[in-house]
């Protein structure tokens, strides 16, 4: 089911999302809906707060297949890279943002097992952007000009 994507200034985007305690049928359905909503909006990633659910879940697809991740965490980061970024919750805008070039991300997959991703480039950027959403951080917070 396609959900409505919330946009600024909806306060849910600024809330710290809570961890998922158990991967229930509801959580799996939520992830299905998030993926469907992301593809329909032609986005590369979506975090649960963007559909109004303040829980630590993200979905990403940068063209290498769908990555759903529950309670994701960046466990290491290195380098710097500056590139253009946008956000489905801030429609019609984009800007250059400096992010870590490489990140290692862990979290739970839909099967409840721990997953680990070594990401760089666009995928690393997407992980950082989406995990920020879970802490109420938006890319515009990094802009200085
Ligand atoms: Ni975003």
Domains of the chain: 11-142 (3.90.45.10)
Helices (H), the chain: 25-40, 121-133
Q: What spacing in Å lies between the alpha carbon of 24 and ligand 1's midpoint?
A: 25
Location of structure tokens 């500056």: 82
Q: What spacing in Å lies between the alpha carbon of 53 and ligand 1's midpoint?
A: 14
109 prior amide bond cis, ω within 30: no
pLDDT tens, 32-68? 999 999 999 999 999 999 999 999 999 999 999 999 9
Check pLDDT > 90 for residue 112. Answer: yes
Rounded to two decimals, what is the model's pTM?
0.97
CB–CB of 76/118 below 8 Å?
Answer: no
CA distances from 60 to 48, 123, 145 (A): 12, 8, 28
Q: What spacing in Å lies between the alpha carbon of 36 and ligand 1's midpoint?
A: 16
Phi, psi (5° rounding) for residue 40? -65, -35
The stretch 134-139 carries a mean pLDDT of 98
Residue 101 tokens read as 């070039």
Check pLDDT > 90 for residue 144. Answer: no
Confidence of residue 145 (pLDDT cuts 50, 70, 90): low
Q: What spacing in Å lies between the alpha carbon of 135 and ligand 1's midpoint?
A: 12
Catalytic sites, residue numbers = 130
Q: Between the CA atoms of 37, 139, 93 and 56, what dihedral angle is there, to the nearest 10 degrees?
A: 10
DSSP assignments along 100-142, one per residue? -SEEEEEEE-TTS-EEEEEEEHHHHHHHHHHHHHTTT--GGGG
């Amino acid at each position: 089911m396609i959900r409505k994507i919330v946009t600024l200034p909806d306060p849910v985007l600024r809330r710290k999302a809570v961890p998922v305690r158990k991967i229930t049928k509801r959580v799996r359905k939520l992830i299905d809906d998030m993926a469907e909503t992301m593809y329909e909006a032609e986005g590369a990633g979506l975090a649960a707060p963007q559909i109004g659910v303040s829980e630590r879940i993200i979905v990403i697809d940068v063209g290498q297949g769908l990555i759903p991740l529950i309670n994701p965490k960046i466990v290491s980061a290195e380098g710097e890279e500056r590139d253009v970024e946008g956000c489905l919750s801030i429609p019609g805008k984009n800007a250059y943002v400096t992010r870590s070039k490489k990140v290692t991300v862990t979290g739970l997959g839909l099967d409840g097992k721990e997953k680990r991703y070594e990401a760089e480039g666009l995928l690393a950027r997407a992980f950082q952007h989406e995990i920020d959403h879970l802490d109420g951080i938006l890319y515009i917070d990094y802009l200085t000009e």
